[in-house]
Amino acid sequence: MAITKDIEAVALHLRAGGIIGLPTETVYGLAGNALDQVAIAAIYHLKERPASNPLIAHVGSMEQAKSLCAEWPAEAELLVKHFWPGPLTLLVKKKEVVPAALTAGLDRVAIRMPNHPVALALLGLLPFPLAAPSANPYMRISPTSALQVDAYFGERLEYVLEGGICERGVESTIIGWEDGKAVLYRPGALPQEEIERVIGPLAMPASSTAVVAPGMAKRHYAPQTKLILANDIEQSIKEHDGLRLGILSFSKTFSADNILRMQSLSKQGDLREAACNLYAALQSFDEVSLDLIIAEVFPEEGLGRTINDRLRRASVELE
Ligand code: TXA
Ligand code: MG
C-alpha cells in the first residue's frame, strides 16, 4: 500500500471500482464509488462491518447532493448554507439511483460535503459521490492520520490519500427529520448549540428508530484496554492504586507511581483542541501495557457532549 499525494492516480483507481483511504476534516474514511454496489460491498468487507449499518455519501457539490435525494427540507437548505462544506451529515429521503446497499435497505440516505481541500479536489475529479465510513475496522478507534489508516489496513488498501492530521478529529454530527422535526442522531464535530442557533431546538431520536440510528452501536471508538469514566480523577486514582493506569484528562496533569501514561487533551482547556486530540490519545494507551484507563467526564456543553458520547461508548464492555 502507498500513502500518496497523487490525486489523479487515486481518482483512476476509484473509477476502476477500487477503495482508498480518504482524508476529511473529521476523520479518515474508507472510500469507494457510492453508486456502485460492488465497491460498497468491498468497503463493508474491508471494514468487517455488518451490512445493516449504512454508509455516508460524500459529495463535492450541491447539485450532486440533490441528485441523491427525493426531498430536501427547508431546514436542510438553511443548514447547508451555514455549515457545508463541513462536519454535518444530513439524513434525507433517497432517490432510486442510490443503491440499497449504501443505505442498508433504509429509505433515507446520509449525505455530507466534507471541508477538506484534498477531499474536495478529489470529488471534483469524479463523476460520482464517495461512500465512506470511518477508516477503522469495526468497533475500533477512528483514524485521524494517514499513518493510522496504514497501520489498520496495510497491504489490503492500495492507496491512502495523504491529507495531514484531521483538524476536527471526531466524526460529523448527523441530523435528520421525523414528522417534520429535526432530530440529532449523532453528536459530532459540529456542536448541537451551533445547529440550534440556526433551526431551533433539536429532538432526540424516538426509541423505535434508535435501532437504526447512526453511530449507535453501543461499544464503539474503543481502545483494547478497559476504560472507565470518572468525575473525580484524583479519587478514582486512589481507588485503583494496585493497577497500572492510563489517565485521560481534559487539561490537568496527574502523577502517581502507577500512572504509566498521562494524556491531557488540551492544556488550555479548549474543547476544540481536546476533540482534535481525542482519538490519537485513546489509541496511544494501547501502546503501553495497562490494566485500566480512567477518563475524565468533560463539561456537558458544545464539543464536550461529543467527547462524552465517544468516551461513554468506549467504556462499554463487550458481553
Ligand atoms: O465524519 C464522518 O461522518 C466520517 C467521515 C469519514 O466522513 N464518517 C463516518 O462514517 O463517521 P461511519 O460510517 O463511521 O458513521 C456513519 C454513521 C453510521 O453509524 C451509520 O449507521 C449512519 O451514519 N448512517 C449512514 N447512513 C444512514 C442511513 N441511511 N440511515 C441511518 N443511519 C445512517
Ligand atoms: Mg465509524
Note the pLDDT of residue 207: 65
CA distance linking residue 137 with residue 162, whole number of Å: 19
Cα 16 to ligand 1 centre (Å): 24
Question: From the CA of 143, how far away is ligand 1's center (Å)?
Answer: 15
Burial grade of 13 (CB within 10 A; 0-12, 13-18, 19 or more): middle
Q: Determine if ligand 1 sits within 6 Å of the CB of residue 174.
A: yes
- Could you give the CA distance from residue 222 to residue 142 in angstroms, rounded to a whole number? 9
Angle at 265 between CA 112 and CA 308, to 5 degrees: 60
257 C-alpha vs ligand 2 centroid, how far in Å? 35
First and final CA of the chain: distance in angstroms?
Answer: 35
Q: Answer yes or no: is the C-beta of 133 below 6 A from any ligand 1 atom.
A: yes
Atom of ligand 1 nearest to the CA of 28: 6
Q: Whose CA is nearest to atom 10 of ligand 1?
A: 133
Q: Report the nearest atom of ligand 1 relative to the CA of 106.
A: 29
Q: What is the pTM of this model?
A: 0.95
CA of 112 to the centre of ligand 1 (A): 10
- Closest C-alpha to 133, from 219, 188, 55, 187: 55
Find the ligand nearest to 215 CA: 1
Residue nearest (by alpha carbon) to ligand 1 atom 23:
214
Its sign, for the CA torsion 70, 72, 76, 82, is positive
Report the interhelical angle of 303-314 vs 271-285 (nearest 10°): 20
Nine-digit cell at 181?
Answer: 422535526
Cis amide leading into 85 (omega within 30): yes
- Closest CA to ligand 1's atom 3: 172
Per-residue pLDDT tens digits of the chain, which is 319 residues long = 589 999 999 999 999 999 999 999 999 999 999 999 999 999 999 999 988 999 999 999 999 999 999 999 999 999 999 999 999 999 999 999 999 999 999 999 999 999 999 999 999 999 999 999 999 998 899 999 999 999 999 999 999 999 999 999 999 999 999 999 999 999 999 999 999 999 999 999 886 554 444 445 556 667 889 999 999 999 999 999 999 999 999 999 999 999 999 999 999 999 999 999 999 999 999 999 999 999 999 999 999 999 999 999 999 876 5
CA dist 110 and 133 (Å) reads 11
Determine which residue's CA is closest to atom 12 belonging to ligand 1. Answer: 133
